[in-house]
Structure 1
């Protein structure tokens, strides 16, 4: 396969030349954002899973660092999280500031002599602000004899003065909550679920305290990734709003909501070390992630999104606002959108037989569909040509669309509805036209 620099985005992180999936260990520490990620450092398809590492000061320009936690013949390093153990509760630090501690899933291979095929939670730690990592010599720190026990997301719960970990028993559709005083010894507090319909696989949980707009209060939000069962097919994300007391989570009766309606949003989790919650997701879909036509790298992350809760007639809903630069760089398009029933926004590139287009369309019933069936000359999405119809309120709906070398993120209703999807268009500048129900062109893109 030839290299594809025309698909390399400006604002979305991509590894230099290897495979990437879930974001891991999102952390803000000493003025830098740390992005760890599931990585195959030896190839551009899934396997040999290790923790890659990149850093940024603005969430938009990233520097890729050496692999943080490498796979071994006996153990791959699956998803997890990183915390700053500032009080050195773990005793793993060697100075007054305390270490960074990564909690990750050890996925043991058939070559492991004691736990072949099992998954358990392990620790690595860093005493140089995340530049180098050492595996804890008494790993794993939490195990259940299970082959699907994974994805530890750890945070400090101030009211109870202890660490809290959420994990999943993926096949059982359960979220497990554990607590610890020192990150090393964990106590099972409660379980949530089974959640959702049978046949789903839950992954990458995160329990996030989110402020409610217009109030001095906050609620707890449980983020979960599902594969299959996504809104637009394949993998996707949902969330529950509820109450958390440091030991158990009680979801509201309103039930599930979709975190993103597009086909390419998965495994989003929050950054540790920030006052206001900020999430980042993997911009792909497990149904075709190995087959997308980028080279030498594979896949991208979404833009970082700041999240709040909004009280509506249907209950609390997450608002997601993207982190964007003040000046949009060349090769990226920002489009101010306003769509009434029957309107369509068309993004085109190339000419004639070497052209492609993506259509954002509201039907007469007001529902929104993003159709990429003519956007991808490589046809890797043949089973997922368009989103499922997305319900919207009656009347004009406004928002912002970001197009970054084929990566599209749409934020409607000031971020109450979001859609993330990949397209792989023909190279060239993107042209935008908006057509009303009467086919009258009446809008174009804005430069910033």
Structure 2
């Protein structure tokens, strides 16, 4: 959770407004539609709030048959400030329904990032017999008049006895602070450590690039265990944020458990700006020890990245999910330009939910990242255009009109015979001037996502253009699954060995797909395109009077969101 110092005057003024006018805890101010509304970029299969600023996913938990996505949210505007927790729920990780605001900032405290666990054993004593609580651990960012120095960050607790609908702050917050107190101590992620039968928390001192590990028997009283850091990784000036320590069975063998420490860094990521790196190692219940890390001072390419694109940050896993593999989600944005992204009345979106696995690749454990099985199951049930095999020789071939769309899943297996490079262009305009290019370079063995001609980009000079990942072919082939949405492209290559996620902002009519090869032959096999536009989810401001709106009913819905106050 990054602090934007330049937003401080706006934040203070807005908090005073909220305090003076008594805005309800569940209300978010949605402006009425204006000519600046950018419905052409509102995602179809990625979660966005109906309006206002959103960043880090928080409180990811599966409870009572529903996935809960909490997130950093400004209930008063479309820029960073007034950090509160927004809330959305889903039963399938595909269709999301926005809920009333969960926890709101006030004049003395903002609600920064954190996590939620279902305390099914009622270790906290905050539940009642038969009604265990959901317990949220989050960072309190204190303001003047709070009893703490302005800017102090400490960990606090809130709990819910109604499956996340309402939240009660613990009466003796904060429950964990440093001595002396810190302005960079944040982002608690809590999980149950089964071998020791206790809770483990990872949190950070962000500007010191340190993950601090604590243990607790009751979620209230925490005891320091150890620090994890890597001297010289990354360079001075970068922040470590949103840590997550996850156990995974290597090659799906439950006898070979390895631990993955995800550390979100800003800046210094592989694609520039913010991104999510990871370390694989061992955890004995007290200390995390990574395997085979790159030497201090190494280039970012020497390290492991969850995603090689520019727009994957604050990644975290859901607590309590069914199944043998964790499910993760991230903020689909980059601090290099997040404040300038040209969307309204909302700003911010989440990535597609993803499944994590750990596989042996070239003799080392690597994180494998795939679309969540729930998404795949839903997409498999949609009508699909199956095109078979397409051979392309030193040319560009546009696919038939039946494949056109602005939200779709594209699947294929690319065999490069003697071509130097080959790939495809998505969200392509009729004149060919606009498009996002996905290229495999056979000589360099690299996969590139190029958004230099993808649409609007002049809103920020830091909106990087090309993102490259090393990726050898498997048996001479490259398997691609590409999820295209109105303002994003996600590329999953070779079963999730490499992933690239980028925002794009094309015109509404850039809806074509083209295949290309350079200097030789390439075969695009088992090619299929699945439209994903038959979904109605984003921006459902849930109260007793509203239903999920369609994009056509956006104007009516925004008025309802405002009147819900």
Q: Report if TM-score (shorter chain) is over 0.5.
A: yes
Aligned CA distance change for structure 1 residues 441 and 240 (closer, same or farther; 3 Å): closer
Q: Give TM-score, length-normalised by structure 1.
A: 0.95
* 1:423 maps to 2:504: yes
Unaligned runs of 5+ in 2: 1-34, 295-302, 384-404, 531-565
User: SS at 2:208's partner residue?
Assistant: coil
- Normalising by structure 2, what TM-score? 0.76
Aligned residue among 287, 309, 315 for 1:268: 315
Relative to structure 2, which stretch is displaced further, 30-39 or 84-93?
Answer: 84-93
**TM-fit CA distance, 1:429:** 5.3
2:346 matched to which residue of 1?
A: 297
Q: How many pairs are equivalent?
A: 447
2:40 counterpart SS class: helix
SS of alignment partner, residue 470 of structure 2: coil
1 CA distance for matches of 2:343 and 2:63?
32
Q: Which has the larger radius of gyration?
A: 2
Cross-structure match for 2:202: 166
Q: Secondary structure at the match of 1:69?
A: coil
Is residue 414 of structure 2 the alignment partner of residue 335 of structure 1? no
- Residue 308 of structure 2 contacts residue 468 of structure 2 at CA under 8 Å; is this kept in 1? no
Tell me, in whole angstroms, the C-alpha distance in 1 between the residues paired with 2:464 and 2:209: 28
The one of 425, 440, 449 equivalent to 1:362 is 440
Contact 1:342–1:366 under 8 Å retained in 2: no
Please list the CA deviations of residues 155-175 of structure 1 after superposition, one character each: whole Å capped at 9, or x if unmatched: 011111111000001000000
CA offset at residue 18 of structure 1? 1.3
More strand by share: 1
Tell me what 1:235 maps to: 274
Aligned to 1:390: 469
Corresponding position of 1:434? 515
| Pairwise CA distance, 1:193 | 1.1
Return the alpha-carbon distance in structure 2 between the equivalents of residues 95 and 108 of structure 1. 34
Deviation at 1:219, TM superposition (A): 1.2
8 Å contact from structure 2 (residues 310, 464) kept in 1: no
Residue 327 of structure 1 deviates from its aligned partner by: 3.4
Contact 1:371–1:385 at 8 Å: present in 2 too? no
Query: 2:304 maps to what in 1?
Result: 257
Indicate the residue corresponding to 2:556 in structure 1. none
- Name the counterpart of 1:75: 109
Q: Secondary structure at the match of 2:468?
A: coil
Which residue number corresponds to residue 328 of structure 2? Answer: 279
Measure, in 2, the Cα distance between the counterparts of 1:226 and 1:244.
21
1:280-337, CA deviations, whole angstroms, 9 ceiling, x for partnerless residues? 1110000111111111111110011111100122410011110222235874211124
CA deviation map 1:182-208 (0-9, x unaligned): 111100000011451322210000001
Is 1:85 equivalent to 2:128 in the alignment? Answer: no
Q: Name the CA distance, whole Å, in 1 between partners of 2:223 and 2:161.
A: 26
- For 1:383 and 1:327, how far apart are their aligned partners in 2? 39
User: Structure 2: how far apart are the matches of 1:33 and 1:432?
Assistant: 34
Which of residues 166, 169, 179 is equivalent to 1:135? 169
The answer to whether structure 1 residue 4 and structure 2 residue 38 are counterparts is yes
CA RMSD of aligned residues (A): 1.9
Cα gap change, 1:11/1:98 in structure 2, threshold over 3 Å: closer, same or farther? same
Give yes or no for the alignment of 1:45 onto 2:79: yes
The 3 A distance-change label for structure 1 pair 381 and 410 is: farther
8 Å contact kept, 1:100–1:129: yes
**TM-superposition CA deviations, 1:12-42 (whole Å, max 9, x none):** 0000111110000101111100000000011
Distance in 2 (CA, whole Å) between partners of 1:359 and 1:192 is 39
Listed one character per residue, the Cα deviations across residues 228-248 of structure 1 (whole Å, up to 9, x for unaligned) are 011111101100011112111
Equivalent-residue separation in structure 2 for 1:72 and 1:194 (angstroms): 36
Whether contact under 8 Å (2:272, 2:464) holds in the other structure is no
Tell me which moved more, 356-365 or 3-12.
Answer: 356-365
Larger helix proportion of the pair: 2
Partner of 2:138: 104
Q: 1:291 to 1:328 in 2, by over 3 A?
A: farther
For structure 1, the residue ranges without an aligned partner over 5 or more in a row are: none
